[in-house]
Structure 1
Amino acid sequence: MSFFGKLYTLQKNENFDSFINSLNLPQDKADALINAKPSQKIEKDGDYYIITTITSKRTTEIKFKNGVEFDEAFTNEITTKNTVTVDGNKFTQVQKADDKIITIIREYSPEQLVVTLTCNFWDGTAKRYYTAN
Structure 2
Amino acid sequence: MAYLNKEFKFDREENYDAFIKQLALNEESAGKYLSFKPNLTLTKNGDEYTMKISAGDFKKDVTFKVGVPFQESLSNGLTPTSTVTANGDTFTQVQDFGDKGSLTFIREFTPNSLKVTIKSSKWDGVAYRYYVAA
TM-score range relative to shorter protein = over 0.9
Q: Secondary structure at the match of 2:42?
A: strand
Which sections of structure 1, spanning at least 5 residues, go unmatched?
none
Segment of structure 1 superposing worse, 92-101 or 112-121: 92-101
Instruction: Count residues in correspondence.
Output: 133
Per the alignment, residue 34 of structure 2 pairs with 34
Per the alignment, residue 10 of structure 1 pairs with 10
Displacement over 4 Å in runs of 4+: none
Q: Calculate the TM-score normalised by the size of structure 1.
A: 0.95
Equivalent residue letter for 1:120: S
Equivalent residue letter for 1:107: E
Q: Which whole-Å CA distance do the structure 2 matches of 1:119 and 1:78 have between them?
A: 16
Per the alignment, residue 128 of structure 1 pairs with 129
Query: Which is richer in strand?
Result: 1
* Aligned-residue CA RMSD (Å): 1.1
Equivalent residue letter for 1:124: G
Structure 1 residue 77 displacement after superposition: 3.1
Q: Calculate the TM-score normalised by the size of structure 2.
A: 0.95
Equivalent residue letter for 1:15: N
Q: Which whole-Å CA distance do the structure 2 matches of 1:132 and 1:26 have between them?
A: 33
| Distance change in 2, residues 1:92/1:38 (3 Å) | same
Q: Which whole-Å CA distance do the structure 2 matches of 1:70 and 1:116 have between them?
A: 21
Which sections of structure 2, spanning at least 5 residues, go unmatched?
none
